Amino acid sequence: NEGGADSFNGGRKLRTLITRIYSCPTSAANTNFDHRFNMAEQNKRELMMLNSETQHPPVMVSSRWNPTPDHLKALEEIYQQGTRTPSADHMKQITAQLRRYGKIEAKNVFYWLQIPKQQSP
């Protein structure tokens, strides 16, 4: 078998060197889980460190509407004019006008106008 593959390199056959990674299907999942768990723990530690560094208590943000005096004055005028249940378009117009006095939404206008007001003598 001269000139064949067996005669090359002194008659020894060459085989391809392949690096094989033997792994169990769950070992990759476990490694991924461990990585995520470690990252979560690291994030928790960093958050705790940040919280301990700041001397200020966390700021609480209220979702409740707090009307300004200008809001109240304008709404009282609208109420005195007899407006109790404005149409959706009218409510949008009122809300747009009242936004110059601060944060307000159409639902705030609607609910405020629904509450019975005491009439002045």
Q: Is the model's pTM score more than 0.75? A: no
Q: How many CA atoms lie within 13 A of 2 on its CB side?
A: 0
d(CA 71, CA 42): 47
Query: Hey, what amino acid is at 13?
Result: K
Q: Report whether 71 contacts 101 (CB < 8 A).
A: yes
- Give the pLDDT of residue 115: 84
d(CA 121, CA 37): 69
pLDDT, tens only, 17-35: 555 555 455 555 555 556 5
Query: Per-residue confidence at 15, pLDDT binned at 50, 70, 90?
Result: low
